[in-house]
Amino acid sequence: MQQKNDDILIYAVADIHGSFDRLRKVKALLEREGPHGMVLAGDLLGHPEDESTVAFLDDLAVSGFVVPGNMDAPTLKRQVEQARSLRWIVSRPQVFYGVIILGLGVERNVIEVDEFYRKEDGNWILVTHRPPWGVQDRDFFGRHAGSKDVADIAKRLKPMVVICGHIHEDAGWSYLDDIPVVNCSLGAGGAGSLIEIKEGRVSNIRMMD
């Protein structure tokens, strides 16, 4: 079991889409920055038969927390469950250095989050492929393409941060009320985000390139 740590560094990425160039970028950043763990916010696979992407990520030997994206095949869950370093977090909260990390699935935006998390006083991270509606969710045409369900759950249950991807064109971070929302998509050439947590609160967010 992970021990509680006042200073945690998490590397967050999404939208790898099986690209070896993006995987090499992830590896290089992990080696350079040395985060405690990584969040993989969906659209990891390049095609339905892709098993090399998860194998590559697993071989990095960094604790990783995974949710699916809309383009991921159902096989992603099996691959993650068979991995050594990765954890499937859709409706399966994981405790990492004293912080709870919980993921949402993408199918019909059905959300299963217990009111328990209201009691955690913000000491948890919400991971979802789609951004919350209205925050880091503008598509190629400038339209909002986020999830109203995700926005609602974040506003009600107050995680310390929402980590997402999906909208390649709007990688970056901003606030939903007072909650940081980090779109860590690699799709438009970025390199994800480093999120620093101190004493149970987000202290710094860096978008990487």
The CATH number given to whatever domain includes residue 176 is: 3.60.21.10
For residue 1, being part of any structural domain is answered with no
Domain membership flag for residue 2: no
Number of domains in the chain: 1
Q: Do residues 113 and 159 lie in contact, with contact meaning Cβ atoms separated by under 8 Å?
A: no
Residues in CB range of 28: below 8 A, 6 or more apart:
none
Two tokens, residue 27: 């590896």
pLDDT in tens, 112-156: 565 555 555 678 999 999 999 999 999 999 999 999 999 999 998
Interatomic CA distance for residues 140 and 57, integer angstroms: 29
Could you tell me the residue range of the domain that residue 109 belongs to? 7-207
Residue 139 lies in a domain: yes
Element containing residue 25 per DSSP (H, E): helix 20-33
User: For 67-91, how does the pLDDT look when each residue is reduced to its tens digit (9 = 90+)?
Assistant: 999 999 999 999 999 999 999 999 8
For all residues of the chain together, what is the average pLDDT? 91
CA distance 13 to 164: 8
Both structure tokens of 92: 């399966």
